Structure 1
Amino acid sequence: MNTNASSVVILAFESLGLSNASIYPMFLLATLTYLLIMLSNLMVLTGIAWSKKLHKPMFILLFNLPISDMVGATAFFPQLIFGIVTQNRLISHPGCITQAFLVHIYGTGNLLILSAMAYDRYIAICHPLRYNAIMSPHSLVRIIVLIWLINVTLIGTLILMLTRFQICRTNLVDMYCNNPSLLKLICDDTSINNYYGLFTIVIVQGGSLSIVLYTYAQILRTCVMTNQSDARRKALQTCGTHLVIYIFLQTNTLVTLIAHRFDNVSPFLRRALGVSVLVFPPLLDPIIYGLKTKELRQSIKVFLQRNVVSTKW
């Protein structure tokens, strides 16, 4: 079907419903949140890249998380900030497709990266003597390449399937563009797209959940059986924060995607959960992994101190 008409169509998001008095505070809040996300994630990236002591599997896997978080934040916040300032809730169809691609790349990427990090912790805690052999540089490169290959392939196919259709509506039902909201703009039969969407949910979220459940069950078993209380406490503390982030992302993403398939779900709840997926993980990830991980925290501190000293000179 011809899609040339869709390339010049302007789409409209749901109104933010802001009063004149609340425009400036909301603009300030959104801008500061975006800047905080970008700066804190950049600090995590810099801390890992700068310190050779952190060039280990756990931190190299973690290095991918800020990249994914910044992709998600950049896909969402600039468009939102522009909409707040101008009170213009419009976006071009190609712009919406691009935003949807980046949003799904972020969500899928985070789930896959967190799953790989869970596997790394499982090997480190349950098979410490074989850790270096299993998590060798070659294996680490394969894991990272596989993460991004699966991510780009699945999401690229998902978004490309949307471009086959010509849209017949222009009102988006969400605060940002995503596959379900774009599908609702199409009047033709989208059964194949829906089936493929369910397939990606099963593969990404089901596969990720299976990995995390298995690894954490084994970690918990090992921690219960060990006689070293300090090692047990450290392992549970490290894995606990990781698990909280994972459960939050997994639950909100799954509920948001499923909510689009049921008309009786509150649109406000769906939008709130959808926005929370793009705001809280990118905001909390660098704080949790940067401040609670001693080696990374120390690396960031030394980096800042040396740069402050060099700036003074």
Structure 2
Amino acid sequence: MDSLGALNAFVQAAEARSFTEAATQLGVSPSAVGKAIARLEERLSVRLFHRSTRSVTLTPEGTLFLERCRRIFCEVEAAEAELVQTKEAPRGKLRVSLPMAGMLLMPTLTAFMRAYPEVEIDLDFSDRMVDVIEEGFDAVIRSGELGDSRLMTRQIGTFHPYLVASPAYFERHGTPTAPRDLKQHHCLHHRFPSTGKLEPWPLMDGGTAASVDLPVTAVSNALDPLIHMAEEGLGIACLPDFTIRRQMREGTLVAVLENQLRRCGTYRILWPSSRHLSPKLRVFVDFMAANLFPAHGVAGTDSGAA
């Protein structure tokens, strides 16, 4: 900043051909302008002005340097103007990491794109724990509680797991009435892509977690195939409610053991900690919180990630 101040003093003095006039424009003393320029000359090892008792004139080096300095201050003004414009209207690239179930969130994302057409969305689908800052993401959406003191976080919705299958499946194989009955059924499992482990079903029995050795009929590291297999009558799948709302509403999937599951999970949006959010990120966070899980109406407050 001291260097910019010296450059500004130089430009004002060069254009006014007077240290006194430059001092008046800058609101400092003429001696302060003279000292700033003298330090600048010393640092550059070049003389910028010819000085006399009545005027100052630029040296050839000073003339060349003045043109460079004018370009610098034009760039600074352009940068400031650009920032002012971004405050007025959200625009620019927004890089977002979504879980592998993110395709099922696309209706909300496409609604955001229609609402803010000048924001360019760059989507990355992954269930791994990304480094938001090091990998250059503007925002990350994940389930569960994620801790990083460098990040801000906001809860954008809750979801509930359901055990579902097609009506035809239950007609052929019967309806389980307790977690232990699942041992006799075809079970469709989700595998975490990041760890390779099967996602446990949140079964409860009498208020405590139930441990059941579930059969494995099929495994997928994405939810869409599990939904399709369940609709086709191939077995029972454990799926979050937001992924199967249409199927539940239309009756192609039916839920069982609803009172014997842990009922709630959370989705959060995380972004690098900053005192001032860019307009594009602010509207994205607010839009996701308001629209991603409207059935539950959950929108938390901004806070430091714990």
Place the TM-score, normalised by the shorter chain, in its bin: under 0.3
Q: TM-score, normalised by structure 2?
A: 0.21
**Bigger relative contact order, structure 1 or 2 (CA pairs below 8 A, ≥6 apart):** 1
Q: TM-score, normalised by structure 1?
A: 0.21
Higher helix share: 1
